[in-house]
Structure formats: structure tokens, C-alpha cells
């Protein structure tokens, strides 16, 4: 999982979902698990 300042590029990857958990923003992707990231 990467920690990034901006998740804008990752939300365009096919299959990605943006989820808010515990005050942080996560990108989860079942199709491509390498595209996992969090912000904050």
C-alpha cells in the first residue's frame, strides 16, 4: 500500500473504490490489488 498526497490518479484505475475509514481516505481495488493506497 502506498501513502500518497493525491488519490486522483488512482481513482481512474479500473475497479478502484474510494472508502473513508477512521478519518483516512483509502483506495481499494479487487481487480488490481497493487493499486491500494491511503491518504492522510
Q: Up-side HSE of residue 9: CA atoms within 13 Å toward CB?
A: 6
User: Any idea where the domains of the chain sit in the sequence?
Assistant: 2-39
How many helices (H) and strands (E) would you count in the chain? 0, 4
pLDDT digits (tens, 9 = 90+) for 1-36: 999 999 999 999 999 999 999 999 999 999 999 999
C-alpha cell at position 32: 488490481
Q: What is the pLDDT of residue 11?
A: 92
pTM: 0.81
The span from the CA of 31 to the CA of 13, in Å, is 10
Q: Three-state SS for 5?
A: coil
**What are the φ/ψ torsions at residue 10 (nearest 5 degrees)?**
-80, -25
Amino acid at each position: 500500500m502506498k501513502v500518497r498526497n493525491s488519490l486522483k490518479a488512482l481513482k481512474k484505475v479500473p475497479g478502484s473504490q474510494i472508502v473513508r475509514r477512521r478519518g483516512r481516505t483509502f483506495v481499494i481495488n479487487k481487480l488490481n490489488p497493487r493499486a491500494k493506497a491511503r491518504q492522510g
